[in-house]
């Protein structure tokens, strides 16, 4: 061992990269539920250095690799050519979160030197014409379908491209003056679609988020991040953060669309059957529960620094979260889901009140029928009991309908019940036509105090 050396050499977070590396992150539409595969956890697919312990602790929350394949670079074809940028290596991964939000990761390392202009054109092609990217003369996702278990997936709306400059481009970005650096970063971050004019006033809304630490540089916009001077394990950690944010954004957009669909289903439901209404409320409630789970475990779980509580990752995550506007979107979507919950609860309460009123009406009707049947049945029962006894007032040769002989008996049997019905009817009429409010106002109104004079001013 040489003097002054150590077996535990310090691994720095900064490093020099010989070749430019670009990670293309595409969100995928449709759910891809995670399953047990031979690929294991995502922590074992890349080198995360000192961040490994954090990721091992949180691996149940991390996306799960469903596909990881080293591909020959010549198999990948872009719709407008490679813009003079040949690939030295190509790796394709498909990862999915526990909630089923999948992301396609295309890990590219270029063979030669890259210029900002050629890189911007390459980024624009892989973003705006991503549906036309081919693998073995077939659309990229079509070629991967068989390996994904024949699941139907399409490219989503969210794209983020992580650029790790290497070689001459890295040295130029780290050593150039501010004006030259601004031109290079503007061209890469905006994929050559936003010309830079140093003479114009600075516009913070258009300029990339920039952090320059001398040895490292971080600049990002909504769709492209430029990270120069970082060691490979930091690059891989940044990729993991970006994958989480892209998955969260896709889940957030799906939640927003599902919330609108739930609202329409509630508004357009036309049914008077209590059973159908209960079924509707049950379906709406189940949908809202899924929305809440998506917001909690598909979005909020990836927008804070709990997974990798390190300053480097926190700074990138905070900037990317602000660039994507996820925080405000989460709050707005959460309020929408909360309103949906309130509407469904109100509809359920209205249904319960309507059913209770219907049951009350039914009970009153049944009680009235029972009372009426009792009133009708008692007099004939008394009369039958009278005619059934062997009394001296009952003549076997006379009909029981002979009112001249038995009129007094009929009067004694019916008169009390007729009087009872009349009295009950009069009392009910008096109760139902009673004047006055259900909430009477007290006779003596509370006195209203006079207005208070402002402090320091004389009272009138």
Write out 13-56 in H/E/C secondary structure.
CECCCCCCEEEEEEEEEEECCCCCCCCCCHHHCCCCHHHHHHHH
CA atoms within 13 A on the CB side of 169: 27
Residues 101, 90 contacting (CB under 8 angstroms): no
Q: What is the 3-state secondary structure (H, E, C) of 320-373?
A: HHHHHCHHHHHHHHHHHHHHHHHHHHHHHHHHHHHHHHHHHHHHHHHHHHHHHH
Token pair, residue 336, equals 């929408």
Measured at the alpha carbon of residue 322, what is the angle toward residues 190 and 206, in degrees to the nearest 5? 35
Which distant-in-sequence residues (6+ apart) come within 8 Å of 235 by Cβ?
Answer: 21, 162, 164, 227
Token pair, residue 295, equals 């917001």
Query: Which pLDDT belongs to residue 1?
Result: 37
Query: Which pLDDT belongs to residue 165?
Result: 95
Mean pLDDT within 10-35: 88
Residues 395, 405 contacting (CB under 8 angstroms): yes
**Structure-token match 């503007």, residue found:** 186
Task: Compute the distance between CA of residue 444 and CA of residue 10 in angstroms, rounded to an integer.
Answer: 86
- Percent pLDDT > 70 in the chain is 78
CA atoms within 13 A on the CB side of 196: 21
**pLDDT of 289 strictly over 60:** yes
pTM above threshold 0.75: no
Query: Which pLDDT belongs to residue 416?
Result: 73
Task: Write the pLDDT tens digit of every residue in 190-231.
Answer: 988 877 666 554 554 455 666 776 788 888 888 999 999 999
**pLDDT of 383 strictly over 70:** no
Grouping H, G, I as helix, E, B as strand and the rest as coil, residue 433 is coil
Sheet containing 76-77: order of strands = 76-77, 134-135, 138-139
Task: Write the pLDDT tens digit of every residue in 360-382.
Answer: 777 777 777 677 767 677 777 76
Report domain extents, the chain: 21-243, 246-356
**pLDDT of 240 strictly over 80:** yes
Query: Which pLDDT belongs to residue 314?
Result: 85
DSSP alpha helix (H) spans, 81-222: 116-128, 140-145, 167-175, 178-189
Task: Compute the distance between CA of residue 40 and CA of residue 46 in angstroms, rounded to an integer.
Answer: 12
Most trustworthy range by pLDDT among 5-19, 23-37, 50-64, 163-177: 163-177
Query: Which pLDDT belongs to residue 19?
Result: 95
**Structure-token match 């949908």, residue found:** 287
Task: Write the pLDDT tens digit of every residue in 257-271.
Answer: 888 888 888 777 776
**Cα pseudo-dihedral 284, 285, 291, 292, rounded to 10:** 160
Task: Write the pLDDT tens digit of every residue in 404-438.
Answer: 666 677 776 677 777 777 777 776 666 556 554 44
- Percent pLDDT > 90 in the chain is 24
Task: Write the pLDDT tens digit of every residue in 39-58.
Answer: 888 888 899 999 988 888 88
Mean pLDDT within 382-405: 61
Please report, for residues 119, 173, 174, 202, 292, the alpha-carbon distance to residue 177 in angstroms, rounded to integers and kept in the order given.
20, 9, 9, 17, 48
Task: Compute the distance between CA of residue 293 and CA of residue 204 in angstroms, rounded to an integer.
Answer: 36
Task: Write the pLDDT tens digit of every residue in 137-180.
Answer: 888 888 888 777 766 778 888 999 999 999 999 999 988 888 88
Task: Write the pLDDT tens digit of every residue in 315-348.
Answer: 888 888 888 888 888 888 888 888 888 888 887 7
**Structure-token match 């913070």, residue found:** 204
DSSP class of residue 230?
Answer: B
Query: Which pLDDT belongs to residue 109?
Result: 96
Query: Which pLDDT belongs to residue 128?
Result: 93
pLDDT band (50, 70, 90) for residue 133: very high
Query: Which pLDDT belongs to residue 129?
Result: 92
**DSSP letter string, 169-188:** HHHHHHHS-HHHHHHHHHHH
Residues 271, 277 contacting (CB under 8 angstroms): yes
Task: Compute the distance between CA of residue 243 and CA of residue 144 in angstroms, rounded to an integer.
Answer: 19
Measured at the alpha carbon of residue 236, what is the angle toward residues 231 and 242, in degrees to the nearest 5? 125
Burial (0-12, 13-18, 19+ Cβ within 10 Å), 191: buried
**DSSP letter string, 243-255:** HHHHHHHHHHHHH
Query: Which pLDDT belongs to residue 267?
Result: 76
Helix count and strand count (H, E) for the chain: 10, 11
Which distant-in-sequence residues (6+ apart) come within 8 Å of 320 by Cβ?
Answer: 160, 220, 225, 241, 242, 245
Element (H, E) at 412: helix 403-432
């Amino acid at each position: 061992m040489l003097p002054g050396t150590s077996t535990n050499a310090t691994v720095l977070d900064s490093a020099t990269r010989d070749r430019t590396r670009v990670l293309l992150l595409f969100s995928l539409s449709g759910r891809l539920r995670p399953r047990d595969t031979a690929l294991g956890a995502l922590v074992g697919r890349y080198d995360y250095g000192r961040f490994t312990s954090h990721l091992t602790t949180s691996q149940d929350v991390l996306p799960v690799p469903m596909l990881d394949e080293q591909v020959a670079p010549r198999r990948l074809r872009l719709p407008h050519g490679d813009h003079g940028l040949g690939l030295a290596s190509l790796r394709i991964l498909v990862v999915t979160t526990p909630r089923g939000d999948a992301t396609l990761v295309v890990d590219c390392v270029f063979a030669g030197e890259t210029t900002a202009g050629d890189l911007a054109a390459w980024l624009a092609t892989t973003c705006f014409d991503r549906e036309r990217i081919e693998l073995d003369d077939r659309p990229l996702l079509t070629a991967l379908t068989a390996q994904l278990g024949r699941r139907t997936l399409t490219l989503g709306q969210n794209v983020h491209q992580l650029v790790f400059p290497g070689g001459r481009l890295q040295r130029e970005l780290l050593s150039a003056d501010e004006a030259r650096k601004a031109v290079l970063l503007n061209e890469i971050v905006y994929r050559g679609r936003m010309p830079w004019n140093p003479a114009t006033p600075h516009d913070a809304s258009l300029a990339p988020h920039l952090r320059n630490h001398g040895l490292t540089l971080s600049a990002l916009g909504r769709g492209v991040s430029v990270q120069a001077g970082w060691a490979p394990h930091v690059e891989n950690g940044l990729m993991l953060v970006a994958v989480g944010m892209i998955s969260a954004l896709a889940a957030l957009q799906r939640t927003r669309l599902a919330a609108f669909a739930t609202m329409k289903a509630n508004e357009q439901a036309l049914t008077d059957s209590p059973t159908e209404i209960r079924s509707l409320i049950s379906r709406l409630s189940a949908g809202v529960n899924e929305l809440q789970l998506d917001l909690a475990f598909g979005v909020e779980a990836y927008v804070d620094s709990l997974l990798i509580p390190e300053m480097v990752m926190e700074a990138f995550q905070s900037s990317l979260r602000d660039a994507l506007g996820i925080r405000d979107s989460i709050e707005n979507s959460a309020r929408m889901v909360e309103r949906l919950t309130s509407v469904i609860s109100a509809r359920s309460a209205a249904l319960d009140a309507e059913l209770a009123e219907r049951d009350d009406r039914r009970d009153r009707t049944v009680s009235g029928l029972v009372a009426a049947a009792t009133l009708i049945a008692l007099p004939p029962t008394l009369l039958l009991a009278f005619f059934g006894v062997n009394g001296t007032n009952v003549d076997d040769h006379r009909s029981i309908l002979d009112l001249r002989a038995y009129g007094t008996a009929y009067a004694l049997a019916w008169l009390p019940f007729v009087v009872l019905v009349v009295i009950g009817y009069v009392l009910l009429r008096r109760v139902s036509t009673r004047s006055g409010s259900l909430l009477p106002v007290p006779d003596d109104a509370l006195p209203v105090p006079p207005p208070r004079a402002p402090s320091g001013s004389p009272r009138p």
